[in-house]
Every structure is written in structure tokens, then in C-alpha cells.
Amino acid sequence: MGITAMNHFTVLTDDLDATVKFYGMFGLNPGWRPPFTFPGAWLYSGDTAILHVIARGKLDQKDGLLDHMAFSAVDLPGVAERLTAAGHDYELRRLAGGGTWQLFTRDPAGAKVEFDFAENEQAPAGWNG
């Protein structure tokens, strides 16, 4: 018996509200969470909790042991626009040969987040790749 699927990611944050709001821009919504003795949130896509957030005091390092988390996504121009409007920088690149779009940003706690878009998605306004 081995691993069969990804269950969830967990990120640490020193600003729970900002982190929940950040992921809310992309359709993840807070939902049921067990009554743990520490603050946090479980963020859902539909009925599935895919991102667990744990609130801690001041974080000493921003990246931890996890390099990044990647989400499949749709509406590249819309995601780029929401990030820009919310004051988040991002890096956009395309896999060699005109393939998958990869958009990288950081959440409010510094975790690196990748959004992968299909190759036929339209580029965001003003992109000069």
C-alpha cells in the first residue's frame, strides 16, 4: 500500500485573517474545523478541505521545509488581476514549448504558491513574456 492522492497542505501564518483572505481570492472558503486548542482555519474547495492554516506567533523563517504548493487553476487574467489589485507581486512563466502557464506568488506568511493554468489560457493584460 502506498500514497494514492494528496490530502491537504498545511501552512503556518502569523496573520490568520490575511491568509484566509488571500486564499479566498481564489475560491478557497473557510469551513468546518475540529475544535483544536490552537487557532487556525480549514479552507475548502467545494466539500474538500485542501488547505489547513495554523496561526502561530511571529514566524522566524518564511519558507519552512516546504518549497511551494501548486494548485491547478483557471482564469489566468483574472487571477493576475486579483493579485495585482490586492498588492501581491507575482512571477509568470510558460513551460518551454508554449506549454503550461506557471504563476508564482507568496501568501501573507511567505509561503510560495504556484498556480498552473492550461496552455490555451489567455495571457494577462500587459504580459511581455
pLDDT score of 19: 94
Q: Which residues pair with 104 in a beta bridge?
A: 91, 114
The CATH number given to whatever domain includes residue 83 is: 3.10.180.10
Higher pLDDT: 96 or 124? It is: 124
The CA distance from 94 to 42, in Å, is 31
22 φ/ψ angles, rounded to the nearest 5 degrees: -55, -50
Answer whether residue 56 is part of any domain.
yes
Answer whether residue 96 is part of any domain.
yes
pLDDT(59) > 80? no
Answer whether residue 2 is part of any domain.
no
Per the CB < 8 A criterion, the answer to whether 63 and 75 are in contact is no
Strands 40-45 and 29-31: antiparallel
pLDDT score of 77: 95
pLDDT(1) > 80? no
Domain count, the chain: 1
Answer whether residue 126 is part of any domain.
no
Structural domain harbouring 113: 9-117
Condensed to tens digits (0 to 9), the pLDDT of residues 60-118 reads 766 555 768 889 999 999 999 999 999 999 999 998 776 899 999 999 988 889 898 99
Answer whether residue 77 is part of any domain.
yes
Condensed to tens digits (0 to 9), the pLDDT of residues 2-46 reads 556 777 888 888 899 999 999 999 999 999 999 989 999 999 999
pLDDT score of 96: 73
Answer whether residue 3 is part of any domain.
no
Answer whether residue 103 is part of any domain.
yes
pTM to 2 decimals?
0.80
